[in-house]
Structure 1
Amino acid sequence: MHYPETKGLKEILNRVEDSLEKGLPFAIYRKPNENEVIGVYQATKALHYTSDFSEKGFVFAPFYSQDKVVLIQPDEYWKAAFKKEDIPINSDISLFDNDEETHIKLVENGVRAIKKGRLQKVVLSRKIEVSISRSPIEIFKTLLNRYPNAFGYLFHHPDVGTWCGATPETLVRIKDKELRTMSLAATLPYEENKSPQWGDKEVQEQQMVSEYIGDKLAHTVQRLEIDEAESVRAGGLWHLRSEVRGTMLPDLEVGKVIRALHPTPAVCGIPTAEAQQFIRANENYNRTFYTGFLGEINLNSQGELSLFVNLRCMEIKNHTASIFVGGGITEASDPKSEWIETQNKSKTMLGIL
């Protein structure tokens, strides 16, 4: 099947409900600033993996790059128009403070490791578990309405789990060998009618990420442009972002580009191998698919990809949602401020629930 069949949104969501009941794999999603929901449904419960990103379908990749990338096959491929509704925002969010001491210690360890050795930046996170009464479909619809400029998705595979999120970060988009990605770092809370005031720590962190992405892509593109950093809003937060563009080398496979970019410095650190090693040894949980990547591959034409970093996401099991929050640690990080940053970030997903 080549192009998606046009359906009504209700049909797409009914099909999701049916797939959840039968334990069949699917992914439904909406790309940033678009008004179309796309559904990719697999007809069997089989667990497929991509071998080299040449298959058609929807991929769901873990944080650790040596682990396999799950593929949902597009046995059916649907699309429906999506119209934004006004959903009241819940500003009365109760935050969870019981991890404060543990997280501050984790950040202190990170800063010590950076001062000691080759590590320049490491992204450290924690997991929050919350009881929920809403269904995955209701949560997905709220995410789409609340975050129109994010990649909003709901994913399910009986052997992998149920995940949903609204991520502000593109891993890579490729079409006709033209590549687009972004360098995203730094966080400040959004305040009404106020521009963000970035400090040296944030500006340097973002600059570090841009330079690192430039180095990583140098062997995969003919030319590379990295824009100046600009402030972008994602829900109740500000970030610094630079757009990155390039033309892939003629005979290069897309897998090489993906491997060069994942995991990004925005979710792992610099240098990648040292940061990943530190995370594995010090974070007291397994990230699995948090800070992995996901999206469509070759659905409309061969070599066309839209992949996003799995941030601002949750894993849903029975009546519990696991939410993940983290931040970039550099030599200049203040552990208490880093804790507050994770509290601010947790409001994004807690507000949805």
Structure 2
Amino acid sequence: MPYQKNKNFYRLLQKVDACLKTGMPFSIYRKPLENKVKGVFQSGDKLKTAINFEEKGFVFAPFDDNGAIVLIKADELAEVDFLPETKNIYTEVELKDSGKDFHIELIKKGLNEIKEGSLKKVVLSRKISRPVSSSPSLIFKNLLERYQNAFCYLFFHPQIGVWCGATPETLVQIKDRQLRTMALAATLPIKESSSPGWGSKEFEEQAMVTRYIKETLGSSLESIDIGELESVKAGKLWHLKSTISGILSEKTSIKQVIDSLHPTPAVCGIPSKEAKSFIKNNEGYERTFYTGFLGELDLEKKRNIDLFVNLRCMKICDGMASIFVGGGITSASEPESEWTETQNKSKTMLSII
């Protein structure tokens, strides 16, 4: 019997299931550390796009910043409570080595580019395909249960497909000209009763991201503040994070801010243009919406946005889940360790399906 305190949540899932059957676009999501699940529903199946970020709705953007940014128009909004029903138990998953040789060679190529000086950092990823039997709405519920400090979402458009995820990374939040973003980088598995043992490689990777964002946003802000470096948990992983905040200049548009930040060095590399070119020419698959961004656009107030980087995510199609994982490569990277990092990151989604 469904948990009675979540009865409105289950009604929302019924609406979602109906939209999936009839092909009506929607997104449902919960922000980090909140207990409200929100829904944005579009009344027709036409593919709409965000042009200048003056629109209202839920945006879903690809990694390629030349690609169309999908907009779920806010024809109907929903908000319900969700309270966890089960203990936060992680399911052990079987990790396979398929694709390891290709990914190791990819990392070596990236290290060679860094050695030659054309790149300082490049983020390299891979795709994992596994059968999935659970419904999208059940997967979304499981994400809410397990990843309470992440942005959890389920997105659907008939021309895009079904995507879901639990991302730990904010792209940008703007509210009443107050801007907040984060520099998130480096990964270590959580070991019980021990603190993360960060090394120079992880600290330098995080510092690169912080410097890049500070330099990129500098002209858009009247003031900027870099918070203290901290270790944060995302599922069964540690990351290094600095919060970056400031006051948005009156002359700066939302589009200018997003164009400046996306794609961040945490998902692409430094320099951005060269890293993106290397990724497209060498990863061996199209990221599409993995490492893009998603979130609210002007739902509460004009020029208020709340966007997240699309990490720890999957696409569901024809009984298969495509899961995406990657890691930042710097001069201090070791290919075998980087492979292990992607294995650890894959557990977030693999444990759900």
TM-score band w.r.t. shorter chain: over 0.9
Aligned to 1:207, the other structure's residue is in SS state helix
Give the aligned residue type for 1:66.
N
* Mean CA deviation greater in 35-44 or 79-88: 79-88
- Deviation at 1:183? 0.2
- TM-score norm. by structure 2 comes to 0.97
Confirm or deny: 8 A CA contact 1:87 1:142 kept in the other structure: no
What is the CA distance between 1:87 and its match in structure 2?
4.7
Aligned residue runs from structure 1 range 212-223, under 5 A: 212-223=212-223
In the other structure, the counterpart of 2:65 is: 65
Q: CA deviation at 1:14?
A: 1.0
Give the deviation of 1:160 after TM superposition: 0.6
Q: What corresponds to 2:345 in structure 1?
A: 345
The code of the aligned residue for 2:299 comes to: L
Aligned residue type for 1:48: K
Match in the other structure for 2:226 = 226
Q: Residues 191-214 of structure 1, C-alpha deviation per residue, up to 9 Å, x if partnerless?
A: 011000100000011011100000
- SS of the equivalent of 1:209 reads helix
Distance 2:100 2:118 in 1: 27
Cα contact 2:88–2:145 (8 A) shared by 1: no
- The answer on whether the counterparts of 1:166 and 1:312 sit within 8 Å (CA) in structure 2 is yes
Answer whether contact 1:170 1:308 (CA < 8 A) is retained.
Answer: yes
Q: Which moved more, 1:290-299 or 1:81-90?
A: 81-90
Taking only aligned residues, the RMSD between alpha carbons, in angstroms, comes to 1.0
1:291 and 2:298 matched: no
2:22 — aligned with what? 22
Name the aligned partner's letter for residue 279 of structure 1.
Answer: I
Alignment-mate amino acid for residue 138 of structure 2: E
SS in 1 for 2:351: helix
Question: Mapping of 1:62-211 within 5 angstroms?
Answer: 62-87=62-87, 89-211=89-211
Structure 1 residue 335 displacement after superposition: 0.4
CA contact (8 A) 2:38 2:79 kept: yes
Q: Which segments of 5 or more consecutive residues in structure 2 lack a partner in the other structure?
A: 1-6
Equivalences for 1:47-66 in 2 at 5 Å?
47-66=47-66
Structure 1: gaps of 5 or more residues = 1-6
Query: What's the CA shift for 1:246?
Result: 0.7
Q: In structure 2, what is the Cα distance between the partners aligned to 1:88 and 1:11?
A: 23
TM-score normalised over the length of structure 1? 0.97
The CA distance in 1 between the partners of 2:92 and 2:294, in whole Å, is 31
Q: Shift of the alpha carbon at 1:219? A: 1.2
In the alignment, the residues of structure 2 paired with residue 258 and residue 159 of structure 1 have an alpha-carbon distance, to the nearest angstrom, of 24
Identity of aligned residues (%): 55
The C-alpha deviation readout for 1:234-256, integer Å capped at 9, x for no partner, is 01100000000010111211010
1:239 maps onto 2:239 in alignment = yes
Alpha-carbon distance between aligned partners in 2 of 1:222 and 1:345, rounded to the nearest angstrom: 37
- SS of corresponding position for 1:8: helix
1:36 maps to 36
Deviation at 1:84, TM superposition (A): 1.2
The letter for the 1-side match of 2:11 is: E
Deviation per CA, 1:264-290, whole angstroms, max 9, x where unpaired?
111000111011000000000000000
The residue aligned with 2:329 is: 329
Matches of 2:115 and 2:48, distance apart in 1: 43
Task: Return the alpha-carbon distance in structure 2 between the equivalents of residues 179 and 99 of structure 1.
Answer: 40
Query: 2:13 — aligned with what?
Result: 13
8 A Cα contact 1:89 1:351, kept in partner: no
Alpha-carbon distance in structure 2 between the residues aligned to 1:219 and 1:66: 23
- Residue 4 of structure 2 corresponds to none
CA distance in structure 2 between the partners assigned to 1:10 and 1:346 by the alignment: 28
Superposed displacement of residue 89, structure 1: 2.9
Indicate if the aligned counterparts of 1:167 and 1:312 stay in contact, CA closer than 8 A.
yes
SS at match of 2:240: strand
- Contact kept? 1:165, 1:312, Cα under 8 Å: yes
Give, in whole Å, the separation in 1 of the partners of 2:57 and 2:87: 31
**How many residue pairs were aligned?**
347
Query: Whole-Å Cα distance in 2 between the matches of residues 64 and 117 of structure 1?
Result: 24
CA contact (8 A) 2:90 2:146 kept: no
In structure 2, the partner of 1:3 is none
Is the aligned partner of 1:264 residue 2:272?
A: no
Q: Equivalents in 2 of 1:174, 1:325: separation in Å?
A: 28
For 1:140 and 1:271, locate their aligned partners in 2 and report how far apart those are by CA, in whole Å: 35
